[in-house]
Structure 1
């Protein structure tokens, strides 16, 4: 039976104890042939009942509070804050249960986050080691071959030195991107906000990547002719880097003879939305949510052959979020992908 109020419990217990004491007194006086004074017995019973009720209620409250304080002291040592002492009744016990359950749930969530971060850290370190190991071993292999005598052959020497230089460039690119993404994550990279024409930046990116696109016969184009400029408020250098990474990504994973189309449209009266669309191999639905993770590759062996540090999309996401804007992607296997992000209108 659930006791709703400890005062009621104290009264009932006092009544039972007084009844037992009275029964014992009457029984004793009956055996000793003493006359029972009813008035005195009633007065004694009343006084005893009141005293027992007060003592029992106070004792139960003190004991329960003592036990609860011990529980809260243990919880407080972890919560780093004090919880006020409570007056004991069933409602406060419900409060205690809810508070401890809430605290337990919070700690479970913290443990889950710590486990996730630990797994993320382990994966990140493993990925960094793997990405650095490949170009390092490549350079080491070519240099050892040259040291063992291949350097005497001029043709082999030049070929191996060029390959070693390419591996060092890849290594330098990985280190540079790691440094950049670390600065982005720690707010160490400051944005230089300015007003500029985003269409002009897109055309500049097309000019920079024209040679890479021609190697796969990929056409870089805008979705339409824009007769007026589209001014935005952002860091122009960082936006150029975002577009370079997205367009380069579309070239790497685009099909030979394909197209990369960039469009600029109105998200609302305060924002523009920039889309980079290709008709390449696309990405499976299960891989889409992880595309912006550091070093994540859909097809690890093939992606590594394409070059790059594996940090491009992660850097893009950090730059866009540093502008307090959003970026997302839609993709269909065999049909291509569309990366789109918002920018503040100037």
Structure 2
């Protein structure tokens, strides 16, 4: 039975029971205080009950109108909208002025529809990005192989150059596919992430020790400082957090764009979170692109991406990992002239 039928019938039944009880009550009153004994169909009783029935009828009508406008109509509208969900051509969000459960339902529906639209957009962008990034090296490989096939009298040195270019383009394609495969695998791993408690000081020291020597081998100076104490603990999946640091240092080295590149790592405490910052003195990123750095497949400069490699998933991976830990990550212009990335991790519970 539909809600718009069941609820009015329920209220009608309640009102009939109420009226019958009033009638019995009046009969009892008249039986006690009047010598005249008669039935409820007596005109005197009916006249006494008519105003009560009129009031009850008005109440019933008001209830019907209220249920229709506040419950049945919004639910019917939501049900209609569910059949019209379109992620390609989105409709305006559902509006509701009520703050009850129906209003909350509308808000949750709007959020769900927005997430579906974002998922569709990301899927489309993913396919377009992969197709674009694979098309460029494939076109080059096709051109080189066609040239080798049609010009068999080329000098051996020139043939060798073309073979090496084909190998380089093939390696670039393999790297792109590996990046995408790694990102997909990482997304699945986050759903079953296991965390342990680590000291912020130990984590910072381990990361600093690891990358200080690695960057020194590339003639890049790493400066580290923090204000953590041994009592500060973090509940994290350490391999994934190390992956975040690895991506950030790799980006700084790959896209720093300076021969005398310097990298700075800072750690500090603020309220209930531990903050980590990775900065460099490189060429930086335009302010208009800072908010887009963590989008999947986003790259500031396509030509630089082709030269340096990568699919534009490194920072998107960092964002996903940090948010699964309950933290936040953001980009900002560094005081050293390059790019700065700051992320937070919630402190571990004392118990």
TM > 0.5: yes
Deviation at 1:310, TM superposition (A): 1.0
Measured in 2, the distance between the counterparts of 1:282 and 1:306 equals 16
* Change in CA separation of 1:139 and 1:107 when aligned onto 2, cut-off 3 Å: same
The answer as to 2:292 corresponding to 1:286 is no
Q: Name the SS of the counterpart of 1:286 in structure 2.
A: helix
- Aligned residue for 1:167? 169
Q: Is the 8 A contact 1:277 1:339 kept in 2?
A: yes
Q: Is the 8 A contact 2:261 2:281 kept in 1?
A: yes
CA displacement 1:99-122 (0-9 Å, x = unmatched): 655554554444344334433333
Residue pairs, 1:63-78, within 5 angstroms: 63-69=61-67, 72-73=71-72, 75-76=74-75
Q: Is the 8 A contact 2:322 2:328 kept in 1?
A: yes
Q: Is the 8 A contact 1:285 1:332 kept in 2?
A: no
Deviation at 1:283, TM superposition (A): 2.2
Deviation at 1:178, TM superposition (A): 2.0
- Aligned residue for 1:222? 223
Of residues 123, 126, 130, the one that matches 1:124 is: 126
Measured in 2, the distance between the counterparts of 1:314 and 1:304 equals 18
Deviation at 1:297, TM superposition (A): 1.7
Measured in 1, the distance between the counterparts of 2:285 and 2:328 equals 20
- Aligned residue for 1:242? 244
- Normalising by structure 2, what TM-score? 0.62
The answer as to 2:211 corresponding to 1:205 is yes
CA displacement 1:79-107 (0-9 Å, x = unmatched): 79xxxxxxxxxxxxxx9796655554554
Superposition CA RMSD, Å: 4.4
Deviation at 1:311, TM superposition (A): 0.9
- Aligned residue for 1:16? none
- Aligned residue for 1:4? none
Measured in 1, the distance between the counterparts of 2:78 and 2:177 equals 40
Query: Which segment drifts farther, 194-203 or 293-302?
Result: 194-203
* Change in CA separation of 1:47 and 1:188 when aligned onto 2, cut-off 3 Å: closer
- Normalising by structure 1, what TM-score? 0.63
CA displacement 1:269-296 (0-9 Å, x = unmatched): 9875443221122223332122111111
Deviation at 1:264, TM superposition (A): 4.0
* Change in CA separation of 1:340 and 1:104 when aligned onto 2, cut-off 3 Å: closer
Q: Is the 8 A contact 2:193 2:237 kept in 1?
A: no
Query: Which segment drifts farther, 130-139 or 48-57?
Result: 48-57
Q: Which consecutive residues of structure 1, in runs of 5 or more, have no partner in the other structure? A: 1-43, 81-94
Of residues 303, 318, 323, the one that matches 2:320 is: 318
Measured in 1, the distance between the counterparts of 2:166 and 2:277 equals 37
Q: Which consecutive residues of structure 2, in runs of 5 or more, have no partner in the other structure? A: 1-41, 80-96
Structure with bigger gyration radius: 1
Of residues 51, 54, 66, the one that matches 1:56 is: 54
